[in-house]
Amino acid sequence: MMQTVLTVTAVVLSLAAAGAIVRIGRGPSLLDRVLAADVLLAIFGAALCIDMAVNRHLNNLMLLVAISLIGFVGSVTVARFVAERREGARES
């Protein structure tokens, strides 16, 4: 049963990662690319959590925290940049 669940989650995460990579490559705007990169980081974090649950260890916990912080800070930074850029375009 555990092997079936692990296989299904691996397939789902792989398909989601493939979709995010395609969106990073194509994505018509900067926001699409940043959102897809954030989703890819979340998928990687989910894979780390699954690995920790299956193997019953916490070795990847610091890596998971670092990835989460990088994703959050990156998304907030780009969102603020785009908001300032749009605000500047309105004032002109």
Domain residue spans of the chain = 2-91
Give the position of tokens 């990156």: 74
The answer to whether 15 and 40 are in contact (CB under 8 A) is no
pLDDT tens per residue across span 36-90:
999 999 999 999 999 999 999 999 999 999 999 999 999 899 889 888 888 877 7
Q: What is the pTM of this model?
A: 0.87
Among candidate residues 44, 35, 34, the one with its CA nearest the CA of residue 66: 44
Q: Which residue did the predictor score with more confidence, 66 or 34?
A: 66
